[in-house]
Amino acid sequence: MSQSPSTVAQQTSSGSSSGKSKGGGSMLLGMMPLMVLFAAVFLLYRLTSGNFAEASDYWYYFIYVLAVYSLVSGWGQAYLNDNSNLWYLIRQIVHWGALIGLIHLLDIQGIREIMNDQQYTLFLVYLVAFSTVLAAIQMDFKIFFLGLFLVFCAYLLAVPENNPALLKLGESFGVADAQTKPLMMTAWVAVAGFFATLFVRVFMRSAIAAKRVSSRS
């Protein structure tokens, strides 16, 4: 039985809406791990600012979380850069393995013992932060703003009183006495970093889709 033009139009519209809904749901689901990572960094910062002694172990375990996420998340950029899957895997293992190995060397060779809890934790946070930025530049740009957020948190921990970065942010966004509101300002920086990451993710997904279409034609 033939369908009327109006029926066909309704079905087409329904299918298009369903596709958009699925695409939006897929995007939201894909962003959930990054939302969790930004939230985890914020919570780690809050924990560390209150107790340096207990925080170092949590930062150490967080490295493994970052490594797994970076490994899973960076395949798209490897595809865009025409990198082989094996070479991408080797680079990820070497990058994060070197960081974890360095931390173990600090313990084995007694370097950890000559630092107090605050010094060691700050050193660890800076290592994690700049390692994330480096991994973003080399293998997965989607975690670049997460890396910058980590650097920001490390700097706040290193300079807890009258932090110049907080003062500058307060002047830029009209927040009075921002240097006395580190948790609030850190939360806002986390939100800004997440939305910047969302933009990068959308751009990268579009680039991957365009490349796949081009390769099929």
In-domain check, residue 53: yes
**SS3 letters across 92-126:** HHHHHHHHHHHHHHHHHCCCHHHCCHHHHHHHHHH
For the segment 86-110, what is each residue's pLDDT rounded down to a tens digit? 999 999 999 999 999 999 998 898 8
> How far is C-alpha 147 from the geometric centre of its chain's CA atoms?
6
The number of distinct structural domains making up the chain is 1
In-domain check, residue 2: no
* pTM (global) more than 0.75: yes
In-domain check, residue 17: no
Distances (CA, A) of 64 to 57, 82, 99, 121, 150: 12, 26, 10, 16, 15
In-domain check, residue 73: yes
In-domain check, residue 26: no
In-domain check, residue 15: no
Per-residue pLDDT of the chain (217 residues; tens, 9 = 90+): 445 444 433 444 444 444 444 445 566 676 788 999 999 999 999 999 878 888 989 999 999 999 999 999 888 888 888 888 899 999 999 999 999 999 999 889 888 889 998 999 999 999 999 999 999 999 999 999 999 999 999 999 999 888 899 988 988 888 888 888 999 999 999 999 999 999 998 888 888 888 888 887 7
Range of the domain at 117: 33-209
In-domain check, residue 153: yes
For the segment 106-140, what is each residue's pLDDT rounded down to a tens digit? 889 888 889 998 999 999 999 999 999 999 999 99
Choose among 202, 207, 142, 204: nearest CA to 215.
207
Choose among 123, 17, 152: nearest CA to 60.
123
In-domain check, residue 25: no
Q: What is the pLDDT of residue 192?
A: 94
